[in-house]
Amino acid sequence: MPVYSLLLLCAALLAGCDNGDKAPLAPASGDPARGKLLLAQYHCGSCHAIAEVPAARGVIGPALDGYGRRSYIAGHVPNAPEALARWIVDPAAMKPGTTMPAMGVSLDDARHMAAYLTELR
């Protein structure tokens, strides 16, 4: 079989492996209502403006309104609820040199916070 024919056959086989549909993001495993309260408790609004979170009018960090529409966390990490929870717990582990500090948030609390943020459209 000529090399060109073999390449065409391989391309055809590989094309059949993906139907072009992207899988939806897995839903966040936390409770959005609890996450909203935790965002206030951990004073995330000191740096970020966050929709419907009391006193969350910070301007040092990016506004988090509409966060659920974002493709990336900190412009670096693909946005998914579990990745966002890990980011909240230890931002520097995911993006060395980031200015976002670790605030002592547990992974469980971070999952609730991620659930709230990913609902912001």
Quick one: pLDDT at residue 19? 38
What is residue 62's three-state secondary structure? coil
14, pLDDT greater than 90: no
* Alpha-carbon gap, residue 49 to 43, rounded angstroms: 11
Mean pLDDT of the chain: 83
Q: What is the pLDDT of residues 63-102, one digit of tens each?
A: 999 999 999 999 989 999 999 999 999 999 999 999 999 9
Q: Where is pLDDT greater, at 36 or 4?
A: 36
Q: Closest Cα partner for 116 from 76, 93, 84, 73?
A: 84
* Alpha-carbon gap, residue 109 to 85, rounded angstroms: 8
Please state which of the ranges 5-14, 33-42, 43-52, 97-106 shows the lowest mean pLDDT. Answer: 5-14
* Alpha-carbon gap, residue 59 to 7, rounded angstroms: 54
